Homo-oligomer: A and B are copies of this chain.
Amino acid sequence: RRGEMAKATQLINNEVFRAFATYAAIVLLKMMLMSLITAYFRLTRKAFVNPEDTASFGKGESAKKYLRTDPDVERARRGHLNDLENIVPFVGIGLLYALSGPELSSALLHFRIFTGARIFHTFAYLIPLPQPGRGLSWAVGYAVTFSMAYNVLKAAWLL
């Protein structure tokens, strides 16, 4: 039983795939962390969007005043959306890239630079750091994903 599974799941024995799995899990967990940061700001700044979320603060007008936007909540939400726009293509294209047979050293270089750039991007967005800190970290992640897409298309091209 176990041997049969190992055969079907041999991908996990491939070093490039293991590296991809590691970094993809890390950046997806980082993206999920944005939900907790948004929730933290919503609770501490008392800024909600759904009426049912403010019911514990009392009824009527006393609760209604917490249905508002807050700059810190909106900033965390923008960081989360930026993650979706950039980490999703990384995971999709990165998987195809990992399966296209790159050298382990090239693959690790792509995965490490992207992961570092996105972690820096989150700090740059939340602190916030002066520009062009956030812009550059965004561009680095973007360029890495573009480079992987180029390698995928070179290896797989079948239109």
Interface residues of A (CB under 8 A from B): 5-6, 8-19, 21-22, 24-26, 28-29, 31-32, 34-35, 49-50, 52-53, 55-56, 75, 78, 80, 84-86, 88-89, 91-93, 95-96, 99-101, 128-131, 134, 142, 145-146, 149, 152-153, 155-159
Give CA–CA (A80, B84) in the complex, Å: 11
Is B96 within 8 A of A145, CB to CB? no
Copies in the complex: 3
Give CA–CA (A95, B88) in the complex, Å: 14
Q: A5-B14, A5-B101 are in contact. Are A25 and B78 (CB under 8 A)?
A: no
Is B12 within 8 A of A10, CB to CB? no
Shortest beta-carbon distance from A27 to chain B in Å: 9
Is A12 within 8 A of B156, CB to CB? yes
Is B128 within 8 A of A52, CB to CB? yes
